[in-house]
Structure 1
Amino acid sequence: MEPIGAEERDAVRGLLGAVNEGLGAPMAPAWEAAFREVPRHAFLPETVWVGEDLVECSRDAAPGEWLRHAYADTAVVTQVNDGEAAAEPGERWASCSASAPSIVFRMLDTLDVRPGHRVLEIGTGTGWNAGLLAHRLGPGLVTTIEVDPVLAAQAVGRLERVGLDAEVIQGDGARGHAAGGPYERVIATCSVRAVPPAWIGQTRPGGVVLVPWESPWFCYGLLRLTVDGYGGASGFFSPHSAFMLMRGQRTDLRIYRDVVRDSHVPVESTTRLSPWAVAGDDWAAQFAVGLQLPDVWRTWHDDPDVEGVASRLWLATTDAASWAAVDWDGRSSGRFTVWEYGPRRLWGMVEAAYHWWRGAGCPGPERFGLTVAPDGTHVRWLDTPDNAVPVPPRPSAPDHEVPARCGTNTP
């Protein structure tokens, strides 16, 4: 293992303080020991990408800046474009990252590992998370799966260099790894839109499956399932984490390339519900809408080249059969133009989902839960499993002004 110098030790101390502040309490002593003895920088590649523009940062060219990113309580992108070359910065997109340390330790604490537990991790990435688990549990108890062969090989080398025993499997994480199970704990470091049955099937009754959640509408939430012994699992969400989607569940859709056609003739209407109320800064509202509309995605188009339109919210189904657009003219705050096409009136469905959420008291993610039935069916619920979330939503309530207490109504 490479020696840790004074500069690295100072960085570790600074990050520990930031993580504890982010967690709201000091991390457990066993995890603090792992934090100190499994240095994050030892698991990062020589080149990382930072900021919204994914600016390249090389350890050789800028060692101080590289180390600063290694020990900041933020995510660091460690691979772009699935490892393929991208000549121009504008062509880069993040395909792997080292998660913010406070999120890493929050998830590890939520996982609640005990001595002797066998753990399966989905999404090895850099290998740091697997290394922390291996430090805590000891040799022979941690199995981690990585779909990308290059990332898997790099993680093997890093774990070997720091002297930690975690088995790295290169393959499809959705299939799990039955040969290493059954497991007491399964943890994913990529988000999912549906929990793969193998993760539940390879977990002992009473065991825990912890997964970041994503709907096409909004990537947010952490789901902690307890396996019931009958082929199913159930549990609550919490309002933490936003991870990259598991590669096997990705959808690559673009409005003008895949959805909207010149031949489409949309229906025009108006709404008083601001698009920012359902796709703005209110994460609880977005989470609730996404749970109710599991096949609807959205994207903003600011300053479209359309006369009288300052901003447009696009909505579409993942099968590209229906779409909607909600326009703001840049002046009014209580009237928006709606265009809808296809067999489903998507904006009306979004309004219904939003009004249902408001009628339920504007619950946050922690009041929602999910049950995975033995046949793989996902049932979303509020407070208790017998109170199912409406999917698809019931007809929308009459439109009206929305009090600010439950969400932003202004652009």
Structure 2
Amino acid sequence: MTDSASERRRMAALLTCKGALKSPWLRAAVETVPREHFLHPGVFLNEGRSWRPVTALGTDPEDWLKIVYSLDTLTTQLDGHLTAEQTCEPVTGVPTSSSTDPTTVVNMIEALDLTAEHRALEIGTGTGYSTALMCHYLGEDNVTTVEVDPQVAARADAALETVGYSTWTVTGDGLLGHPRRAPYDRVISTCAVRRIPYTWVRQTRPGGIVLSTVGSWPWGTGLAKLTVGDDGTAEGAIIGRSSFMQARAQAMTPLAGDLSARAAYADDDRPALVSPLILEEWVPAFLAQLAAPGVQLVCVTRSDDAPSRYLFDPERESFAEFIADGESWTVRQGGPVALWDDIERSLVAWQNAGEPDIDAIRLRVTTASHLYWIDQSPSLRWEHRLS
């Protein structure tokens, strides 16, 4: 018969075989912390166009444990309020809270390079599972976790108490950190941000690490690992691809209305030197966001069944529209910023540099700016001023 302890050991073994789980202390935490407590009362399973609610009480215990200890991300909230026990039928909705897949969880914790005396700040408590893994090693008094959603925070706090960790669970805007318990040795964000808030850098000791996913598209985001210097700056690299829900305060609002009307008046049109289809690839999508911060990519099918793609920057009131002509594309641009010109220059420079992967990108954060660059190409440099 399947039981929680054996499932925890099985999952730890799988994560070790995948190369994600390396530290003995973290393996011990994975084998100890019961993930099922952090998925109470249930989850939503993705069925393509809908989400099927599955609860612990309404599921065979062995089947429930198989779901809990799968290596999948498990959605725990839809649309900012709906949880699995509130419905019996499949529903549609947008995930707003989840228990991230264990591979990603342990990879990120491993990347923190924790030692037993560290004090950690976690942004985005979620279910509280990753919080518990860190508490197991650091102790509950050395972990502070911040969650913006009061309902999610309450459930996480209850789960942490159930498994024996009375840690510092704070309801608030994680983009502000938690200055009351600063400074921290490590800051880890389990949500994606458009840029690293300087408050996190300020609340981290010199020599400490800030780890967060940066970017705002559902794909094309990167995991930034920065070391804080004595001068109050932070520098490091994008160490890999990473995908998390966006911090709620920074989430982009989907564009509504007639998109063709938004792009009705172009200032110019020309052949695109690079196909916009390249933006469906991870690294080009990341570079596009560096070249044009705040831009949104929208793909639609026109009334004549022809594909069309748009880039919109609502804040700068600019757009680029791509129209397919066989294997070629025409780009129409309008507004004060030529969005595609900026992005295209970066993509051409990236191709000319040999298409380095995302881990070639470095990042420096100061009080005034975010500077990204790739060492092997002087033209691949993007500075985002904060003023």
Instruction: Give the TM-score normalised by the residue count of structure 1.
Output: 0.84
Q: Structure 1: where are the runs of 5+ without partners?
A: 393-411
The aligned amino acid for 2:14 is A
Indicate how the Cα distance of structure 1 residues 173 and 77 shifts in structure 2: closer, same or farther if over 3 A, else same.
same
Residue 184 (structure 1) aligns with? 185
Instruction: Give runs of aligned pairs for residues 63-102 of structure 1, distance below 5 A.
Output: 63=60, 64-84=62-82, 91-102=92-103
2:348 maps to which of 355, 362, 372? 355
CA contact (8 A) 1:217 1:297 kept: no
Residue 23 (structure 2) aligns with? 28
CA deviation after TM superposition for structure 1 residue 144, in Å: 0.6
- SS state of the match for residue 371, structure 2? strand
CA offsets 1:307-350 (integer angstroms, 9 cap, x no match) = 261x2222111416111222336xx33x1233332222323333
Residue 404 (structure 1) aligns with? none
CA deviation after TM superposition for structure 1 residue 103, in Å: 0.7
Residue 60 (structure 1) aligns with? 57
Higher mean alpha-carbon deviation, 58-67 vs 284-293, is at 58-67
C-alpha separation in 2, matches of 1:21 and 1:343: 52
Indicate how the Cα distance of structure 1 residues 308 and 132 shifts in structure 2: closer, same or farther if over 3 A, else same.
closer
CA offsets 1:76-129 (integer angstroms, 9 cap, x no match) = 111111115898966400101111101111111100111211111111110111
- SS state of the match for residue 134, structure 1? helix
CA contact (8 A) 1:73 1:101 kept: yes
Instruction: Give runs of aligned pairs for residues 110-189 of structure 1, distance below 5 A.
Output: 110-189=111-190
Residue 196 (structure 2) aligns with? 195
Higher mean alpha-carbon deviation, 291-300 vs 60-69, is at 60-69
The aligned amino acid for 2:261 is R
C-alpha separation in 1, matches of 2:68 and 2:36: 5
C-alpha separation in 1, matches of 2:59 and 2:263: 53
CA offsets 1:140-171 (integer angstroms, 9 cap, x no match) = 11111111111111111111111123210111
CA contact (8 A) 2:20 2:103 kept: no
CA contact (8 A) 1:260 1:323 kept: no
Matched residue pairs, number?
Answer: 377
- SS state of the match for residue 229, structure 1? coil
CA contact (8 A) 1:371 1:385 kept: no
Instruction: Give the TM-score normalised by the residue count of structure 2.
Output: 0.89
Alpha-carbon RMSD across the aligned residues, in angstroms, is 2.6
Higher mean alpha-carbon deviation, 50-59 vs 197-206, is at 50-59
- SS state of the match for residue 366, structure 1? helix
CA offsets 1:355-398 (integer angstroms, 9 cap, x no match) = 011122211111101111133x1111113898861469xxxxxx
The aligned amino acid for 1:206 is G
The aligned amino acid for 1:58 is T
C-alpha separation in 1, matches of 2:130 and 2:173: 18
Residues 1:381 and 2:373 aligned together: yes
Q: Structure 2: where are the runs of 5+ without partners?
A: none
CA deviation after TM superposition for structure 1 residue 204, in Å: 0.6
CA contact (8 A) 1:219 1:243 kept: no
C-alpha separation in 1, matches of 2:116 and 2:221: 30
C-alpha separation in 2, matches of 1:383 and 1:133: 34
CA contact (8 A) 1:371 1:378 kept: yes
Instruction: Give runs of aligned pairs for residues 228-239 of structure 1, distance below 5 A.
Output: 228-239=229-240
Residue 49 (structure 1) aligns with? 44
Query: Counting strand residues as a fraction of each chain, which structure ranks higher?
Result: 2
The aligned amino acid for 2:12 is L
CA contact (8 A) 1:188 1:210 kept: yes
Higher mean alpha-carbon deviation, 127-136 vs 337-346, is at 337-346
CA contact (8 A) 1:217 1:290 kept: no
The aligned amino acid for 1:289 is A
Higher mean alpha-carbon deviation, 77-86 vs 135-144, is at 77-86
The aligned amino acid for 1:297 is Q
Residues 1:15 and 2:23 aligned together: no
Indicate how the Cα distance of structure 1 residues 228 and 384 shifts in structure 2: closer, same or farther if over 3 A, else same.
farther
Higher mean alpha-carbon deviation, 100-109 vs 162-171, is at 162-171
Residue 400 (structure 1) aligns with? none
Residue 215 (structure 2) aligns with? 214
C-alpha separation in 2, matches of 1:390 and 1:178: 30
CA deviation after TM superposition for structure 1 residue 216, in Å: 4.5
CA deviation after TM superposition for structure 1 residue 209, in Å: 0.7
Indicate how the Cα distance of structure 1 residues 90 and 347 shifts in structure 2: closer, same or farther if over 3 A, else same.
farther
C-alpha separation in 2, matches of 1:390 and 1:120: 29
- SS state of the match for residue 140, structure 1? helix
The aligned amino acid for 1:12 is R
C-alpha separation in 2, matches of 1:240 and 1:293: 19
CA contact (8 A) 2:202 2:232 kept: yes
CA contact (8 A) 2:200 2:210 kept: yes
CA offsets 1:162-221 (integer angstroms, 9 cap, x no match) = 112321011111111111121111111111111112111111111111111114484421
Residues 1:326 and 2:322 aligned together: yes
CA deviation after TM superposition for structure 1 residue 59, in Å: 2.3
Residue 287 (structure 1) aligns with? 286
C-alpha separation in 2, matches of 1:212 and 1:38: 25
Identical positions, percent: 31
Residue 398 (structure 1) aligns with? none
